[in-house]
A and B are shown apart, each in its own frame.
Chain A
Amino acid sequence: MQLWPENTGRASDSSWPVYAKLKWLLVDGDIIESLFHPQHERRTGLSVLIDMILQTSLSLLVGAALASAASLTVSIPSTQLLPNPATLPPSTHAVLLGPPGVRYDVPIRRDNTFIFPDLAEASYLLTIHSRDYFFNPLRVDVTKAGDESQQETIEAWQTFRGNEWGNKGSSYGSGIDSLVTEVKPAMHKAFYQARGGFNILDFLKSPMILIGLFSVVMIFGMPYLLENMDPETKAEFEEMQKTSPLTEAQNSASQLQNFDLAGWLAGGSKDSKR
């Protein structure tokens, strides 16, 4: 729902004679190439003068009728994350959420700005919505200037979701009756989850596979190692194995398995049997 103040007869700001224009080269509807040509509007001095006179007289007219006329211009600069803001889709828009019932929604313009021409006195939450990027939310306050004049102060700060409204971040500037500020994209939207694909290195790195490989090496490699040992070390090794607790445990285990219950009950001993 779009709601506008009652009297908005004043035309929007015409202060952008230089604008970057997206130029499409179309051949039978096919977009072959898109180039960016900064275009300079050439105006004759006279027409500018007439325009200015018309504009001022008109704004005076409107100004008399309408006390509240604070305007906010938010532009999106070229940054490392978004080198060319002209690539933002035309559906990019900014929403100013004021007190109940006051909501302004404006689309992005050709010069990468959002213009809110007439703002009533209130505290607003500014959110920029774009398909491809996240933008930080801002708090915008429009208040009556301290002196007796009809002017208004407009100020903007960063704000944080989930924090109380009074918790303001760094200032985005302030102005009398109009404010021009820049908001940079904060983050690119990554929509897709990558599949955990098969990678031979990752596969080999996993501890399970490492343990498995080690045991394979031990099983197949040990006999060869033993065979290739010189007889003396081999004998030494066999001696060591006999006395090692591991083999003893094995022995005791085999004793337990081959336990001669009948013999034991008969009171015989192993030694005597042997």
Chain B
Amino acid sequence: MRLPLVVVASALLGSVTAVFEDEAWNVDYQFSLLGEPKEDTTFFHQPNPNSRASLLYTLSEKGVLGAVNPKDGTIVWRHLLAPGISSSNASFLRAGEGQDIVVSSVSNQVAAWGAADGRQAWNVNLDGPVADVEILELSDGKETAGVKDAVALIGGVHSAVQRIDGATGAVKWQTKLDSSDTAYQVSASSTEVFAILLHKTMLGYVKIKVISLDPVTGQKTDEYVLSSDSELSTAETIVSVGANSASPIIAWTDAAHTVLKVNLIGTKGVSSFNIEKAGDKNVNRVRLHAPYRVNSLAHFLVHFETESSHWADVFHIDLKKSKIEKAYSLPKLTGTGAFSTSTSDANVYFTRATRDEIVTISSTSHGVLGKWPLNGFGVVGGQHEIVGPVHSVSDVSVKGESVSAIRTAILTTTGDWTLLRGSNIVWHRPEVLAGTVSATFVNPAKAEALVHELEIEAHSNPVSAYVHRVLRHVEDLHTLPALIASLPQKVVGGFLGTSADDVTSDTFGFNKIIACVTESGRLVALNAGIPGQILWSEQIATPQPNDWKPSFVSTEGGLIKLSLSDTAGSMTFNASTGELMANALVVDTENDAASANDITYTLREQDGELLAKQGGKVLWQFNPISGERIVTLTPRPVNDPVASIGKVLGDRNVLYKYLSPNSALVLTANDAKHSVTSYILDTASGAVLSSNTHNNVDLSGPVTSIMSENWFAYSFAAEASDESPKGYQLIVGEMFESLMPNDRGPLGESTNFSSVESSAHPHTLINTYQIPEAISKLAVTRTRQGITSRQLLAVVADSDAIVGIPYNALDPRRPVNRDPTKDEQMEGLVRYNPVIEFDPKWYLNHQREVIGIKDVITAPATIESTSLVFAYGLDIFGTRLSPSFSFDILGKDFNKFQMLATVAALAVLTFVVAPLVNRKQVDQRWQF
């Protein structure tokens, strides 16, 4: 049933638009991102215990679990575990020594994944949110040979500890803690399992409570409170709770970071160490780094940070006396630094990364084992920004007394993840882009400047325009030497490549700048024409959680104007360089007065009504019927050129399109009746032009809509009944002034019409199609003049893809229940089929997998045939589309060699035939 449908679909429509094999991977580009890696869930691990090769694993702040090949920075596998997770949510990733699985935990789920292939091994859903997960390194002979069990601490109302079988995911034992305290962490030594709880005292302070459990049976063996009466005001000053080391420790400081207290878990003694000050600057952060292996030396490092400098102290634990003493200090250095711990057999090594060098030190003495100078991290930073490390992980291989090789993966302050082998930069991944919240296309300032100059010439008198032009060309003369120098290369390139490959000049308008603003407060600019090129990256603000709603106001003249939030003003940047041009963070009241004639539309969330105001006066309001709420509001795009006001039919008659620039599509949902209603509004008058109601809608699925030209589309999930199908539906509607050819209905010959006075309503045709999967976002291609046919872009999250559906597959004028007439065939209409299968050839991303896409933006290129597409959310994906093929550019399909060969063959033929013809003509004259 399904196979023929796909074949039919591809036969009829597949030829319209598709990804070509020679363009795939060249024209499109992608950053397969993970999000910024978290320090405690990032590590090197050997996926195959028998091999020494290791992969880099991380569970990022965006809830993406992934394995990265340290050789080239490519993703080996990844999973989006928790879409929409925030960085404050607890998530864990652990790997046992010599295990071929990694264990992750997000919200109330613990899952194990094959370390090499990323397939799930097992999955457990727990009764409450997981507070911590650890791998039990100890062995009691009960577990499957070679497999290490996991132990999970469940938080929430009924906190409990569970031991999970590492091979199957079965729960071996569960111990309820029966306490009202907050579950904090779990830790294991070689003989015991410890649950750390936080007990809130009457005065609002926090006490640390330790419960020790027998790892075999789960029986509670001991319970005590650490003497920290009024020291801890919040859990935030607990520096670390060690796990799996020979002697797990718990360390905390007071709120002012003046005293460091350390306790060996399992003992009741607490050691105190004073924290020195760096000049007059207070320590504002303390971090602790300890080895993660049971058989390694019991040494740890404490990392102190002030605003401008950092240093570290190394401590040794005497296991026999249960005593902790300071061994040595590492010198104070300005700037940020990152420390990481590596082990080799029992030895422990600390690696310090600063912005100038990487140093490896043994935990036993302060002698430097290896030192590698750094010359930056190879990342694009801001103009006056000093890029430093945030955190790092290292993979050290030691031969004798020195370090023979070191690989360090560093997260920099710019949000890039860089891997260094020694002091060489191997790769860097712009993970900051995973947090893109808004993006826009901008023309480079240079191109915009030329447009501006030409406008001056067009609007002045001929003489001054001529003088202006001559002066402009004289000005251009200084670029002549460079132009001449580049000529030979251009000629060679022109012969060998195709015109679309030329990156030096941007004749076709492919090299637009894409500005992305991220949730971490950075503005990053990419080049749409050169895959993977980051032009500049600036930290523009320190986002406040509730006051960070950046949006692009305008992109005129090569300048990016960005408003930071609802209340703050705007900032302006040069799109080509990232230079800050103007900072108008105070709201300009004069400008507001000038825009008093503008109509503002407000969608009020509390009462769910849409309000149009002009200068404080309410023009109209749209209240949904009671029980309904507004789900989406989609106006026609501001810049939506339409080449033809009519649709030419097969018999050369014309159907006139209803092209009101003020139309908008509003979708409302009725939760009680499970229905969705669409309204076409005229936003000038507030009139409802047309509406449609769909029943049996699953409102928990995504509902999304788009509007362009004279048509609109929306999609939702339909609930099943015996008579109706279950699944996802796409509704497409097209509006005409009248359905009679060559007739404009009530508008007649008039050139203007007022939507307030006229009662001309559109005639709307609607078709519903069943689609194989949910569409989470719709977009439409845009070209310069709108001559090229449009393509509907749909983000299908389940297939990790973006699908470009040609409009003629969706045309609501497809004849229903009959074959198309000859005229309709001429127009390209095919018989209506209720199912549209997404042909794999429509996938813009072809074999790539793009995950977490939240929005797709499009922009026209300079040439009419092409539309630029950019998708963001988690992954970054961009491509160029030619919905009606590349009719105005020589693409890859143009065979230069074939053309030259044909010309050469014709030339040879002419030379060969010419004497023959000549002789014949002479003969004709002389022979009768």
Interface on A for B, CB 8 Å cutoff?
A: 1, 4, 7-9, 11-12, 14, 21-30, 41-43, 47, 50-51, 54-55, 58, 86, 89-91, 93, 95, 97, 99-101, 103, 106-110, 115, 117, 123, 125, 127, 129, 131, 134, 136-137, 139, 159-166, 169, 186-187, 189-196, 198
When distances are taken between beta carbons in the complex, the residues of chain B under 8 Å from A106 are 120, 123
Contact B722 A166 (CB under 8 A): yes
Interface residues in B2-20 by Cβ distance below 8 A to A read: 2-3, 5-6, 14-15, 18-20
Contact partners of A190 in chain B: CB under 8 A: 840-841
Expressed in whole angstroms, the minimum distance between the Cβ of A198 and any Cβ of chain B is: 6
Q: How far is the CA of A190 from the CA of B108 in the complex (A)?
A: 38
| A100 and B699 within 8 A (CB) | yes
**In the complex, how many residues of chain B place their beta carbon closer than 8 angstroms to a beta carbon of chain A?**
92
B688 in contact (CB, < 8 A): no
The B interface, classified by DSSP as helix, strand, loop or mixed, is loop
CA gap between A29 and B395 in the complex, in Å: 13
Task: Give A200 to B351 CA distance when docked, in angstroms.
Answer: 65
Given A91-B800, A129-B798, A131-B847, the answer on whether A187 and B6 have CB atoms closer than 8 Å is: yes
CB distance from B547 to the nearest CB of A (A): 27
Is B48 interfacial (CB 8 A cutoff)?
yes
B residues in contact with A187, CB < 8 Å: 3, 6
Decide: A192 near B2, CB < 8 A? Known: A58-B171, A110-B120.
no
Contact B125 A191 (CB under 8 A): no
| Contact indicator B71/A30 (Cβ below 8 Å) | yes
Is A51's CB under 8 angstroms from B170's CB? yes
Q: Interface-forming stretch among B111-119, B254-262, B633-641?
A: B111-119
Q: How far is the CA of A232 from the CA of B745 in the complex (A)?
A: 78
Across-interface contacts of A22 in B (CB, < 8 A): 114, 116-117, 119
Q: A9-B127, A25-B51 are in contact. Are A100 and B674 (CB under 8 A)?
A: yes
30 contacts between A and B (CB under 8 A): A1-B700, A11-B124, A12-B168, A23-B116, A27-B53, A29-B72, A43-B144, A43-B145, A51-B165, A54-B170, A90-B77, A90-B118, A91-B77, A91-B849, A97-B698, A97-B717, A97-B727, A99-B698, A100-B699, A100-B700, A101-B698, A106-B123, A110-B114, A110-B119, A139-B726, A161-B727, A162-B835, A165-B720, A193-B19, A193-B21
From known contacts A27-B51, A27-B53, A99-B719, infer whether A110 and B841 are also in contact, taking CB-CB under 8 Å: no
A12 and B122 contacting across the interface, CB-CB below 8 Å:
yes
| Given known contacts A23-B116, A123-B720, A189 and B840 CB-to-CB distance under 8 angstroms | yes
Q: Are A165 and B725 in contact (CB under 8 A)?
A: yes
**What are the residues of chain A within 8 A of B47 when measuring CB–CB?**
24, 26
Closest to A110 in B: B119
Indicate if the CB atoms of A30 and B53 lie closer than 8 Å: yes
A68 to B895, CA, bound (A): 64
Q: Give residues in B with beta carbon < 8 Å to A.
A: 1-3, 5-6, 14-15, 18-22, 24, 47-48, 51-55, 69-72, 77, 79, 83, 100, 108, 113-114, 116-127, 142-145, 164-165, 167-173, 674, 698-701, 717, 719-727, 770, 772-773, 798-800, 833-835, 837, 840-841, 843, 846-847, 849, 851, 892-893, 895, 898
* Contact between A4 and B125, CB atoms less than 8 A apart: yes
A contact residues around B843 at 8 Å (CB): 191
A127 adjacent to B846 (CB under 8 Å): no
B457 vs chain A, min Cβ distance (A): 43
Chain A minimum-CB-distance residue to B724: A164
Q: Are B725 and A195 in contact (CB under 8 A)?
A: no
Within the complex, the shortest CB–CB distance from B441 to chain A, in Å, comes to 26
Residue of B nearest to A165 (CB): B720
Roughly how many angstroms separate A54 CA and B2 CA in the complex, as a whole number?
46
**Which residue, of A14, A109, A191, has the highest number of chain B Cβ atoms within 10 A?**
A191
Q: Separation in Å of the B870 CB from the closest CB of chain A?
A: 20
* In the complex, chain B residues whose CB is within 8 Å of the CB of A125: 720, 726-727
Complex CA distance for A194 and B698, rounded to whole angstroms: 40
Taking a contact as CB atoms under 8 Å apart, the answer to whether A129 and B773 are in contact is yes
Residues of A within 8 Å of B24, CB to CB, are 191-192
List chain A residues, Cβ under 8 A from B54.
26, 29
Q: Which residues of A contact B123 (CB under 8 A)?
A: 12, 106, 115
Q: Are B719 and A29 in contact (CB under 8 A)?
A: no
Given A14-B170, A47-B142, also A193-B841 (CB < 8 A): yes
* Residue among A14, A41, A100, A123 facing the most chain B CB atoms (10 A cut-off): A100
B124 adjacent to A12 (CB under 8 Å): yes
Task: Given A12-B124, A47-B143, output 11 extra A-B contacts at Cβ < 8 Å.
Answer: A12-B168, A23-B48, A24-B48, A30-B53, A43-B145, A107-B120, A110-B121, A159-B726, A164-B725, A190-B841, A192-B841
Q: Within the assembled complex, what's the spacing in Å between the Cα atoms of A20 and B772? A: 31
Cα–Cα, bound, A28→B127 (Å): 41
Chain A residues positioned under 8 Å from B165 (CB to CB): 14, 51
Find out whether the CB atom of B170 lies under 8 angstroms from the CB atom of A191: no
Do B849 and A162 touch across chains, with their CB atoms under 8 A apart?
no
- Nearest to B127 among chain A residues (CB) is A9
Q: How far is the CA of A50 from the CA of B165 in the complex (A)?
A: 12
Q: Quote the shortest CB–CB distance from A35 to chain B (angstroms).
A: 11
B847 to A, closest residue via Cβ = A191
In the complex, which residue of chain A has the Cβ closest to the Cβ of B405? A28
Check if A195 sits within 8 Å of B893, measured CB to CB. yes
Does the CB pair A100–B723 fall under 8 Å?
Answer: no
Q: How far is the CA of A30 from the CA of B55 in the complex (A)?
A: 10
* In the complex with contacts A90-B77, A109-B119, A129-B798, A191-B840 CB distance below 8 A: yes
A30 — nearest CB in chain B belongs to which residue? B71
Contact B835 A161 (CB under 8 A): yes
> Please, which residues of chain B bring their CB within 8 A of the CB of A108?
119-120
In the complex, which residues of chain A have a beta carbon less than 8 angstroms from the beta carbon of B1? Answer: 160, 169
Once bound together, how far apart are the Cα atoms of A159 and B3, in whole Å?
A: 13
CB distance from B835 to the nearest CB of A (A): 4
Known contacts A125-B726, A161-B835, A166-B723; is A41 also within 8 Å of B116 by CB? no
- Alpha-carbon gap, A26 to B44, bound state (A): 14
A109 to B114, CA, bound (A): 9
Chain B residues near A1 (CB-CB < 8 A): 83, 700
CB pair A103–B721 under 8 Å, yes or no, is: no
CA A38 – CA B3 in complex, angstroms? 34
B53 contact from A26, A86, A99, A163, Cβ within 8 A: A26
Decide: A26 and B892 in contact? CB cutoff 8 A. Answer: no
Known: A100-B719, A101-B700, A107-B120. A191 touches B846 (CB 8 A): yes
**Which listed residue, B2, B700, B770, touches A186 by the CB 8 Å rule?**
B2
Cα distance A51–B142 in the bound complex, in angstroms? 9
Question: Given contacts A127-B773, A161-B772, A189-B840, are A90 and B119 in contact (CB under 8 A)?
Answer: yes
Instruction: Point out the residue from B79, B144, B895 that lies within 8 Å of A91, measured CB to CB.
Output: B79
* Chain A, Cβ-Cβ closest to B700: A101
B14 touches A97 (CB 8 A): no
Min Cβ gap A158→B in Å is: 8
**A99 vs B72: C-alpha distance when bound (angstroms):** 45
| Closest chain B residue to A58, Cβ basis | B171
CA distance A4 to B144 in the complex (A): 29
Could you tell me the distance between the alpha carbons of A134 and B144 in the complex, rounded to whole angstroms? 37
CB neighbours of B170 from chain A (8 A): 11, 14, 51, 54-55, 58
B126 touches A9 (CB 8 A): yes
**In whole Å, how far is A176's beta carbon from the nearest beta carbon of chain B?**
23
**In the complex, chain A residues whose CB is within 8 Å of the CB of B722:** 164-166
Residue with the highest number of chain B CB atoms closer than 10 Å, among A9, A90, A103, A123: A90
